[in-house]
Structure 1
Amino acid sequence: MTARLLVLGGGPGGYTAAIRAGQLGCDTVMVEQGRLGGTCLNIGCIPSKALIHVAGAFAQAAAQARGTAFGLRAAGAPSLDFARAVEWKDGIVDRLNAGVAALLKRSGVRTVHGRAEILDGKTCRVETDTGPQTIRTEHLLLATGSEPLELAALPIGGRVMSSTGALSLPEVPAHLAVVGAGYIGLELGMAFAALGANVVVVETAERILPGWDAELTRPVLRGMERLGIEVLTGTEARGLAADGALLVGSPGGAERAIPAEAILVAVGRRPCTRGFGLERLDLAMNGLCIRIDERCATSMRNVWAVGDLTGEPMLAHRAMAQGEMVAEIIAGERRAFDKVAIPAICFTNPEIVAVGLSPIEARQAGHEVRLGHVPFSANGRALTEDDEEGFVRVVARADNHLVLGIQAVGRGVSELAAGFGLALEMGARLEDLAGTIHAHPTRGEALQEAARKALGHALHI
């Protein structure tokens, strides 16, 4: 088999590149060992958000049974058929998986299912169900994604699991221990706590979500406290006791055993670089990641790499943007990747969104800044939803008012991410945000008000 473009990996970066290349008339073959859609669709973003939705609906029903501030009281405590919820989640994944296959077919992409092995920069052998298939190509795109990091003290197996196992549990565990207070651990930990699990979170850093600034994470910590989650920061997981409990301890402190039917290890991810012959290519590396330039080109001519394989931020939408760009470059267009506006979202309760620079990052970059901070307690829509936790924050240069970053924490703020990203991508200034008419009453008004506040003339606070 021959192709102009061979894509290894059918995740967001790979299938987006293949679809776009096919649209542009490029003869494309894509190889995927597992299910189309990669980690995000099958065992990551999509199923986890489905579980989070189930947990939120269950928690809302439980709150209504207790009685609300506006007088609503449901009769009796809610119950959940968890097996049916899992079946519903899996149905969503199946539907999207079939959609990816249909899009690839419509774009004329040939898909080969099997384990790929790189022979050289132009040749790949795939072990398929019907025997080996050799593919020669002009351009090779590597999009093999990432895999969960493991701890030597807690190898995956049995009650110790990665997020993949946690999303496949047959029932809600009575006791769940989460090792790692990053976004994956907290999203799933809070979801299971809302469903009734007794959750303990163990984190070696001194606070949760150490990659996010503390002002954004404090409302999430309060949300965890409301769910009854015990948070152990400055604490490391040391292994399993004889009875299966999780052993934890702080440096120089006494060891403690935490009972748990399930232990979720969520301490990060690493690029998938093993098992497909990558060592046969002479590629420059950045640690465990493949080094790329602003066009996603590697150190070998006509060998490209996108997504988690190339390092942080390991986000599906970054991989998609890179994949689309590479396809257009191969088709002859002039493109380069500018990462000024890659939204990062933590789907906890409340949610967190960050686009661009935080105040600390802006100052570290040498900017004098203006800040606009508006709490949702001053937002009419938040009050009518009976959920005023959180805020919107705008970071801008003090000299010319160019917006450098926008962050928010609160209910449903993930849906504000597109507007935040658009503002940075278009080079908006504070005056642009303040002068844009925002619909009332919406949570998005907090962005306009934050810009006004940064300019010194807030109207509603």
Structure 2
Amino acid sequence: MVVGDASLDIDTLVIGAGPGGYVAAIRAAQLGQKVMIVDKGKWGGVCLNVGCIPSKALINSAHHYEHMKHADQFGLSVENVSVDFTKVQDYKNSVVNKMTSGVEMLLKANKVQMFQGEAMFINENEARLFNEQEAPRYRFKNCIIATGSRPIELKPFPFGGRILSSTEALSLNEVPKSMIVIGGGYIGIELGQMYSKFGTEITILEGADTIMPGFDKDMSSLVVKHLKQNKVEIVNGALAKSAEQTDKDVTVTYEVNGETKSVTADYLLVTVGRRPNTDGELGLDLINVKMTDRGLIEVDDQCRTSIPHIYAIGDIVPGAALAHKASYEAKVAAEAISGLPSKVDYKCIPAVAFSDPECAAVGYTEKEAKEKGYNAKSSKFPFGGNGRAVTLGGADGFMKLVHDADTGLVLGAQIAGVEASNMIAELGLAIEMGATIEDIALTIHAHPTLGEITMDTAELAMGHPIHTLAPKK
């Protein structure tokens, strides 16, 4: 590295160009800051390159393939349906390239300086940026750290060969005949279910007594039903112990109910969570940023660290590791730097799993609302009572709406069904603005749309449902 050279001055240094970093850089530039963003990978971070976007592209292809195989339910006859996985990967890559090039264009259009490489703190006000060609030093007034996370690697299951993280699982050049998935969280379920639709024999080993433990049990039970329809084997209460691989397959030994068992497959996918990228050469230890024992950076309600002019957002701070949370915090941090009174408010962060059916939740469950002191009630409306859901072949689903029986205030919602990921936004807005179930019921929803389910669930909550029967008292 270069030593003794002069520092270049900027207002704000953003480290990391994922959905937290690039959003922070653009918002800061909009507010008049001179911004430099640095990332050692491609613009868009994990989300756009090896996470959210490529996984949803593959899931979309899997859905289309499944629909074509069962086209007869829509009165269609489709013969000789097959998968050319090379072309599926080409489609996925084209989506990724379009999105990442779009991020690059937006950064340039907002006059954000861009550096492809790594960053290392020299002190609280300076950082060295470096790649194979250069190593400039920058003096910054403020810094936003948005370095994201990576898959957790377990010692008995080191990544490599036929043991995959989610990153490698998105880039296979073939549809495996079989795959073992350790971890039944939303990532494991999304990828496992995707491959099962393409024809892979899937075995899921989950340590808890249910998959997708972060979601309402009614929701995960519906996903389990669909997984079993695709002949996915789910082993709950399983403790994975070791793996042995050859050049052709991998065998996992696990324990369940005190009994040792084993299963062999083409590949092993390990999805047991993600680790914050706060270690390595970033140099956080050199500037003494206060951190938790889990390697997360402690921040206040403006995303400010223990060093007042250094901020941190996304997967490296406490809270859910979600791309949209990172983007939200990015705007708060950029605005706080500009002197605006922005602060984080996490009461309305939606959680979405692109399983089949999709699962989405926002706000409180009925149990959580009662624990908060509300006189909470929940109302559950079936997708089978909605004309649009039935025409889409998606009658198997439900919406659960949680409200305060004393005030009618909307407190939360859980949706399992077709397009749940898109439907949850209206409920998030309702909670954010302090809407009541009457507000939703009186809002005219277009027909025939899935959005009517929200109106129907609100009417059910008020006691006068039109498209389902009121529960017996």
> 68, 72, 76: which one pairs with 2:76?
72
> 263, 274, 277: which one pairs with 1:258?
263
- In structure 1, the gaps of 5 or more residues are none
Partner of 1:281: 287
Partner of 2:189: 186
How does 1:17-416 map onto structure 2 within 5 Å?
17-64=24-71, 67-68=72-73, 70-74=74-78, 76-241=79-244, 244-253=250-259, 255-275=260-280, 276-287=282-293, 288-416=295-423
Q: How many Å separate the matches in 2 of 1:327 and 1:174? A: 47
Identical residues among aligned pairs (%): 39
- Letter aligned with residue 44 of structure 1: G
- Letter aligned with residue 106 of structure 1: A
Q: Secondary structure at the match of 1:210?
A: coil
Q: Is the 8 A contact 1:370 1:401 kept in 2?
A: no
Q: Is the 8 A contact 1:353 1:413 kept in 2?
A: yes
Deviation at 1:242, TM superposition (A): 6.3
- Are positions 1:454 and 2:461 aligned together? yes
> 421, 430, 437: which one pairs with 1:423?
430
Q: After TM superposition, where is structure 1 displaced by more than 4 Å over at least 4 residues in a row?
A: none
The worse-fitting range, judged by mean Cα deviation, of 162-171 and 434-443 is: 434-443
Deviation at 1:385, TM superposition (A): 1.9
Deviation at 1:292, TM superposition (A): 1.1
Q: How many Å separate the matches in 2 of 1:451 and 1:354? A: 16
- Letter aligned with residue 309 of structure 1: I
Q: Is the 8 A contact 1:4 1:27 kept in 2?
A: yes
Q: How many Å separate the matches in 1 of 2:193 and 2:381? A: 26
Deviation at 1:282, TM superposition (A): 2.1
Please give the TM-score of this superposition, normalised by the length of structure 1: 0.97
What do residues 56-75 of structure 1 show as CA deviations (whole Å, max 9, x unaligned)?
011111112xx32x43222x
Q: Is the 8 A contact 2:216 2:414 kept in 1?
A: no
What do residues 200-253 of structure 1 show as CA deviations (whole Å, max 9, x unaligned)?
000000011111120111110111011110000000111114653111221521
Q: Is the 8 A contact 2:149 2:277 kept in 1?
A: yes
Deviation at 1:284, TM superposition (A): 2.3
Q: How many Å separate the matches in 1 of 2:391 and 2:60? A: 21
Q: How many Å separate the matches in 1 of 2:124 and 2:317? A: 18
Q: Secondary structure at the match of 1:414?
A: helix
What do residues 173-226 of structure 1 show as CA deviations (whole Å, max 9, x unaligned)?
000111000000000000000001000000000011111120111110111011
> 6, 13, 19: which one pairs with 1:6?
13
Q: Secondary structure at the match of 1:12?
A: coil
Q: Is the 8 A contact 2:149 2:315 kept in 1?
A: yes
Deviation at 1:454, TM superposition (A): 1.3
Q: Secondary structure at the match of 2:303?
A: coil
What do residues 106-131 of structure 1 show as CA deviations (whole Å, max 9, x unaligned)?
11111111121111221111222322
Q: Is the 8 A contact 2:162 2:245 kept in 1?
A: no
Q: Secondary structure at the match of 1:131?
A: coil
Deviation at 1:353, TM superposition (A): 0.6
Q: Is the 8 A contact 1:62 1:77 kept in 2?
A: no
Deviation at 1:351, TM superposition (A): 0.1
Distance 1:2 1:251, change over 3 A: farther
Deviation at 1:285, TM superposition (A): 2.2
Q: How many Å separate the matches in 2 of 1:309 and 1:442? A: 39
Q: Is the 8 A contact 1:241 1:257 kept in 2?
A: no
Q: How many Å separate the matches in 1 of 2:117 and 2:39? A: 6
Distance 1:71 1:114, change over 3 A: closer
Q: How many Å separate the matches in 1 of 2:290 and 2:95? A: 39
Q: How many Å separate the matches in 1 of 2:369 and 2:287? A: 38
Q: Secondary structure at the match of 1:35?
A: coil
- Letter aligned with residue 143 of structure 1: A
Q: Secondary structure at the match of 2:379?
A: strand
Please give the TM-score of this superposition, normalised by the length of structure 2: 0.94
Q: How many Å separate the matches in 2 of 1:53 and 1:327? A: 34
Q: Is the 8 A contact 1:393 1:447 kept in 2?
A: no
Q: Secondary structure at the match of 1:285?
A: coil
